[in-house]
Amino acid sequence: MSEEKVDLTKFVKGFVQPVEWWKAASTTLKIAVVVVIIYFVYQFFFAKKTVQTQNITAQPGSHVQITQTSKERKYFIPFVEGGIEQKSGTSRAGYVRAGLRFEF
């Protein structure tokens, strides 16, 4: 096997060249944009939304009752389901359905 010599000056000059810095910065920016898009898609479609309500009931001469409830909701729920159905005596069919269920 041939041994290659490492040129340290060439290695150090690679960090100073603006073209290399531009490539690194643009690649980092592209990766950051993709991560942000994935995060927002996750928050919009898959993260649970928490709805909090608080009711305070006070009447003259009575104790105060405070009721606080929190309810987690997912508005867009992906699903996959499969099944087998038999239409006639010997005829069988299988299916797989996938979709997105909306709950309001």
> Is the domain of 19 the same as that of 62?
no
> Is the domain of 53 the same as that of 40?
no
Half-sphere exposure of 48 (CA within 13 A, CB side): 7
> Is the domain of 42 the same as that of 13?
yes
Q: Which residue from 65, 75, 15, 17 is spatially nearest to 45, judged by alpha carbons?
A: 75
> Is the domain of 92 the same as that of 56?
yes
Whether 80 and 95 have beta carbons less than 8 Å apart is answered as: no
**pLDDT for 26 beyond 70:** yes
**pLDDT for 95 beyond 70:** yes
Q: Which residue from 78, 57, 75, 77 is spatially nearest to 66, judged by alpha carbons?
A: 57
> Is the domain of 103 the same as that of 63?
yes
> Is the domain of 38 the same as that of 67?
no
Average pLDDT, the chain: 77
> Is the domain of 79 the same as that of 38?
no
Domain containing residue 5 = 1-47
> Is the domain of 53 the same as that of 100?
yes
Instruction: Report the domain count for the chain.
Output: 2
**pLDDT for 23 beyond 80:** yes
> Is the domain of 59 the same as that of 96?
yes
pTM comes to 0.39
- Predicted confidence (pLDDT) per residue in 40-78, tens digit: 888 777 777 777 777 777 778 777 777 777 777 666 677
DSSP-assigned letter for residue 63: -
What DSSP letter does each residue of 11-47 carry, written as one string?
HHHHHH-HHHHHHHHHHHHHHHHHHHHHHHHHHHHTS
> Is the domain of 40 the same as that of 65?
no
Residue 44, amino acid: F
Choose between 20 and 36: higher pLDDT: 36
